[in-house]
């Protein structure tokens, strides 16, 4: 029997209200040893994710490890979009083993978890595998993660995908939340975030708007 197409989004796509974003250990000490992605690109991608989440009102948790004693402050690119937001500091490498973080996850009450942070093979694998085992649907923004080597990052991503996690990118995250250029209430915010943090795509948006006054979907 031929399936009947419908002009509706698939249930597997993310929307701003169906998930909790957890941004993990974007801190100086962790970044120093990150070699799988250039530090400036990592900061840009982290900013893209944080600004996307803040702009769409996504339930977001920011967590650090040993902030005062060892790992240092969280990237301002991650904290600036969430002024006044409390950072949940941990001792555990696995965020999912930290009681205050889990209390916040349960209070937010979302069945989908989106992860980004440092390092992929430790601080992302831990909560990804733990959340999957407890019945959550897990997404990992792989270009907003990094590790001590390409091998470490890639093996971690493979391990999570094999366990059922769904990989995505930072720009994909932004555009999946917008998904329709006719959504005027978030159009300017989305294109603004893309122009500032979206690399070559953002340059293209700037060019089109400056040269032609272009506006997608209008």
Q: Which residues contact 21 (CB under 8 A, 6 or more apart)?
A: 49, 53, 58, 59, 60, 61, 114, 115, 116
Known catalytic residues? 123
Q: For tokens 């978030």, what's the residue?
A: 186
Q: How far is CA 79 from CA 53, 169, 178, 216, in A?
A: 12, 20, 22, 30
Q: What is the DSSP string of 173-205?
A: HHHHHH--TT-HHHHHHHHHHHHHHSHHHHHHH
């Amino acid at each position: 029997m031929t399936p009947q197409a419908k002009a509706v989004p698939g249930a597997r796509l993310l929307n701003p209200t169906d998930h909790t974003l957890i941004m993990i250990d974007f801190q100086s000490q962790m970044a120093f040893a990150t070699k799988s992605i250039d530090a400036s690109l990592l900061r840009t991608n982290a900013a893209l994710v944080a600004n996307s989440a803040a702009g769409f009102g996504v339930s977001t948790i920011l967590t650090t490890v040993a902030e005062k004693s060892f790992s240092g402050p969280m990237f301002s690119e991650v904290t600036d979009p969430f002024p006044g937001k409390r950072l949940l500091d941990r001792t555990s490498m696995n965020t999912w083993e930290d009681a205050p973080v889990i209390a916040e996850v349960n209070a937010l009450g979302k069945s989908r978890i989106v992860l980004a942070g440092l390092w992929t093979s430790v601080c992302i694998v831990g909560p990804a595998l733990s959340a999957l085992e407890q019945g959550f649907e897990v997404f990992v923004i792989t270009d907003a993660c990094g590790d001590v080597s390409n091998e470490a990052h890639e093996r971690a991503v493979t391990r999570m995908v094999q366990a059922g996690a769904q990989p995505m990118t930072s720009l994909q995250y932004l555009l999946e939340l917008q998904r329709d250029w006719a959504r005027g209430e978030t159009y300017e915010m989305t294109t603004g975030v893309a122009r500032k943090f979206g690399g070559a795509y953002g340059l293209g948006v700037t060019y089109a708007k400056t040269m032609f006054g272009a506006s997608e979907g209008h």
